[in-house]
Structure 1
């Protein structure tokens, strides 16, 4: 065997050995991350199961406390009424993804707990039609230290248990059909003009994205809007935020920090670039406080909206 050929063979052997070491090291790191699954169970307060094929440890909390019917059919936890969180190694960090099963009045207390404990909220919507009582599903995610993530998920599960059975129910009741509020504070605080339609005042702020190579914007539905109704001291605001994916957590924290209830998080389109996420909300209070809450959320967005 000539020297050139020998060098090639040695190089291949060395590459193979180094590759094997790298794979073994990666597997060792992954195994080490998931070795202490008992600790994840302890911190989350939930029992879990390891899927060795995917290297994922998943904890589950069946909502056996709920009595839900869908189109007259009695539902069980195994029929989609189980909260869960799945942990897996992601490089030198741990990734968590999950789905929380919530009654309507639990959504915002549980969401605030997640946001305050390093857990991202990625979607909020229904999975059923004709469900009684109504059930919402809050999807969560995160990346970081396994113990911190498990601790955050544990607090989310604890808040679900704490608020079950209607304990979180809070409602403000009044007739918003007769509007007497002054729109000037809204315009001054948000910095955009309002339009009166019937008994409500509406602010609409547009942004743009691309679909099939064409720009779509405000009038095509790519917009943030807020409707105000009621009196100066007793008003409601409801509407929709249009956001880049990177803006979602900031908007959520700003709105929840001001006591605004989040009612859904989802997409309105498919195939757009950049991707736009939509967040629907509801709040009650004074006109000035509500306008300040919307403004605080707008200020977290990285792109100026167009009035």
Structure 2
């Protein structure tokens, strides 16, 4: 990470955000709090087992924190096709906008779909809502 000037408040908030989501965090220029969380997915692409971070990692971030404590909060994850509707419903019940559902790969088994979401929210509240929404994924 380059020398990013970050307030102690932002750093504490990023640590808490990562702890709630159960992932590793870094603070990028902006500042942007970026959290990645590895999952154990058993999948194949083109008949080969994959453990690539491009498949396994859930990604979350927040940035543009305002004085009221609200920020642009983003997330994405891969899910098995039969989990997509449940995750979308869970996120929407928490007032989080689902912005994309699509595939990334061809000839994968089982079928993987990628879901992206966004919200302007307090990062801690967002992290708790997301944690509850994705809990069933394991």
Normalized against structure 1, the TM-score is what?
Answer: 0.38
| Residues 1:185 and 2:16 are matched in the alignment | yes
* Partner Cα distance (1:223, 1:271) in 2: 20
Does 2:37 correspond to 1:205?
yes
* Residue 131 of structure 2: aligned partner: 295
Query: CA RMSD of the aligned region, Å?
Result: 2.1
Q: Gapped runs of 5+ residues in structure 2?
A: 1-5
Runs of 4+ residues over 6 Å off in structure 1: none
User: Is the counterpart of residue 230 in structure 1 residue 61 in structure 2?
Assistant: no
Which of structures 1 and 2 has the bigger CA Rg?
1
How many residue pairs end up in the alignment? 125
Written as runs of structure 1 = structure 2, the 5 A alignment for 1:61-76 is none
- Counterpart of 2:79 (choices 235, 243, 263) is 243
The structure 1 residue matched to 2:27, chosen from 191, 196, 199, is: 196
Match of 1:261 among 88, 93, 97: 97
Q: Looking at secondary structure, tell me which structure has more strand per residue.
A: 2
Q: Could you say what secondary structure the match of 1:300 adopts?
A: helix
Q: Is the 8 A contact 1:206 1:217 kept in 2?
A: no
More relative contact order, 1 or 2 (CA 8 Å, 6+ apart): 2
The CA deviation string for residues 211-244 of structure 1, in whole angstroms up to 9 with x for no partner, is 1332223423443211111338111211312101
Matches within 5 A, 1:1-307: 181=10, 182-198=13-29, 199-207=31-39, 208=41, 209-231=43-65, 233-301=69-137, 304=138
